[in-house]
Chain A
Amino acid sequence: MSGVAETITALQAALSGLGGTLLLFPVMLPLTGLLLAIPLGGRHAARIVLALLPLGLLAAVAIAAAVLDAGAPLRYDLGAWAPPLGVRLQADGLSATLLLTTAVVMLAVGLYALPGFRVPDGSSETRRPFAFWTLLLGVWGGLNLVFLGQDLFNLYVALELLTFSAVPLVCLDGRADTLAAALRYLLFALLGSILYVLGIALLYGEFGTLDIALLREHLAAAGSMPPAAIAAAALMTVGLLAKTALFPLHLWLPPAHAGAPPAASAVLSALVVKASFFLIVRIWFDLMPVLLTQSAAQILGALGAMAIVYGGVLALGQARLKLLVAYSTLAQLGYLFLIFPLAASPAGDATGEVLTGGMLQLVAHACAKAAMFMSAGLIAASLGQDRIQELAGIGRALPITVLAFGVGGLALVGIEPSGAYLAKTLLDGAVQAGGQWWWGLAMQIGGLLTAAYLIRVFFHAVSGFGRPPVLRSRPARYQELLVLGLALCSLALGLVPPSYLALVEVGRVAGVGGPLP
């Protein structure tokens, strides 16, 4: 026992000795894997991914531990050139949280996808496994780079790497409807990224730098916001909203997320849409805290509230399980946007609690939604279809899978120990303190709708006391347990001690509306 403890201590000491260099691992691991996987081919690509994912998790844990210990962000200047000449990687509390979430969900998805994307024996190479594993590495690298980047243009390149890896994942099976869904996704994403670049051009023209920390100083020194900066903020936010699929720009999401293979849907819904949301948080909280005023933030909050209601109502009417889960993503994304008006509340500075609540909701949704998509995929593969009306008896045929779906759903609704429960408690605190009762109402309606569409699935899944349905195939037992484990992660997130939750707030600059550094 003491040997193991000593090894862990030694490993921890070695990793924390690396300091800022640690930040290279989340970026370099996937990109090295990508370079190796392309010449080596599909059979090796799977092995490379599964070898790298645990290393990525180790790096993410080490970064989170280092950030939490130091109470300050980790920094790494590429080539030792400090901004504005160089490009900086930086991990503050938000980055560390998201890196850790990405590593956990990616590891689960990688293990889950193993049987589905195996190169068949006797064949040396097939298109589907090769495409899946290399694209998964691309998504992973793009996500990590978005979470660490500090230069706005560098972030744009990271976002494009992410989009170009995510879009083909949608149409892996090559059917016409998934191709159309992928094309629509790509067009929305391209519109979003070009608006983002337009914002970058305006900011560079005004201030001559693209480093987030330097821009914040320039903006603070300027006193009032120059018109170009306001235009840039609006363009970048709208562009990123299109990529995040917030309410009026959501049309691409349900067909794309429902049509993709389950492992890919899990990554797209749990992580990819969060990357652009993360950049919106960066822009509004880190880059331009002066912008986060009541009037501007109310717009984002209103769109979020509409997404909660609209996504929930449409989820209730879906005939297919995967589409129901996809529409539920629309609604859950809405919650994330409530943090803007709540943080901008004039009564007291609740930014810390609100951001912690928002991040908890994000992490809880990532784990729960990945688990729900993967269990829906297992159900669909076993039955050969996923119409909710015809799920009768599946609860007896695949008890663990249905349990995993249910636990994930309960975690979304926000029952007691779940991360979503803690998130809603924190947000509710801000609602009470700021007197903005209408956001509380939106959250309550969202919770009711979530419970309603889950009950509808359960009603069909556990009914049918006749003979159980004929299964075309049984999922591997380890897949079922893996999905259940991920759902339980989301459910147990509320039990994380508050000292660890402090991670989110590490490296926050000044309170909104407060004096800038």
Chain B
Amino acid sequence: MSEATLFGLCGAALVGLGLYGLICHPGALRKILAFNLIGSGVFLLFGVVARRGAASGFGGDPVPQALVITGLVVAFAATALAVALVLRLAQTSGRTGLDPERPGQAEETRRTES
């Protein structure tokens, strides 16, 4: 197994784990961490792409590396915004997550049942 394949599989595993966490965990903080896990997987994939695309004699293709840096900044900003929202939500209502049963959905099921 080549290096690129190994890193690619690691990236895929991280994305899978993160996706599971983002969808299945009720806690907001865990969802945010899971989002960061997916982000790490995607950035790892960019690294693999940079390595593979370096056919022209460079140590690595610089473009994906530049994309990763920008992506990191955006993911950091997103995480900061999300954590700020969770903190504010906890201060105002004492909740630390989106309810496992979404209020909107509960309303909808009630309506369809009646």
- The interface of chain A, by Cβ under 8 A from chain B, is 153, 156-157, 160, 164, 167-168, 171, 174-176, 179-180, 182-184, 186-187, 190-191, 193-194, 197-198, 200-202, 204-205, 208, 251, 254-255, 314, 317
Contacts and interface: CB of A to CB of B under 8 A. Distances in A.
B21 to A, nearest CB: 11
Given A157-B74, A194-B39, A197-B71, A255 B104 contact: yes
Contacts of A317: 111
A187 B35 contact: yes
11 contacts: A179-B85, A179-B89, A180-B95, A184-B98, A187-B98, A191-B35, A194-B38, A198-B38, A202-B45, A204-B53, A208-B61
Contacts of B42: 194, 197-198, 201
Interface in B47-67: 48-49, 52-53, 61, 63-64, 67
Contacts of B35: 187, 190-191, 194
A103 B61 CA distance: 40
Contacts of B111: 314, 317
Nearest to B55: A208
Contacts of A187: 22, 28, 31-32, 35, 82, 98
A168 B81 CA distance: 9
B49 A204 contact: yes
Nearest to B64: A204
Contacts of A176: 89, 92-93, 95
A156 B74 CA distance: 10
A186 B82 contact: yes
Contacts of A186: 78, 81-82, 85
Given A176-B92, A184-B98, A190-B82, 6 more contacts: A167-B85, A179-B89, A187-B82, A198-B45, A201-B45, A254-B104
Interface string B16-46: 0000001000001001100100110010011
Nearest to A203: B49
B39 to A, nearest CB: 6
Nearest to B102: A251
Interface string B59-99: 00101100100110010011001100110110011010010
Contact of B89 (A157, A168, A183, A200): A183
A251 B77 contact: no
A182 B93 CA distance: 14
Nearest to A171: B85
A180 B67 contact: no
A106 B111 CA distance: 36
A182 to B, nearest CB: 6
B105 to A, nearest CB: 7
A478 B70 CA distance: 44
B38 A174 contact: no
Contact of A183 (B64, B71, B74, B82): B82
B39 A174 contact: no
Given A194-B39, A198-B42, A174 B105 contact: no
B64 to A, nearest CB: 6
B9 to A, nearest CB: 14
Contacts of B45: 198, 201-202, 205
A474 B31 CA distance: 44
Contacts of A167: 81, 85
A174 B28 contact: no
Contacts of A171: 85, 88
Contact of A205 (B49, B71, B74, B102): B49
A150 to B, nearest CB: 16
Closest 4 pairs between A and B when the two form their complex, measured CB to CB: A176-B93, A205-B49, A179-B89, A176-B92
B5 to A, nearest CB: 13
B101 to A, nearest CB: 12
Nearest to A207: B53
A171 B52 CA distance: 44
A164 B53 contact: no
Contacts of B15: 198
Contacts of A197: 42, 71
B3 interface: no
A184 B102 CA distance: 10
A191 B15 CA distance: 11
Contacts of B113: none
Given A167-B81, A182-B85, A174 B22 contact: no
B92 A175 contact: yes
User: Which among A167, A176, A202, A317 has the highest number of chain B CB atoms within 10 Å?
Assistant: A176
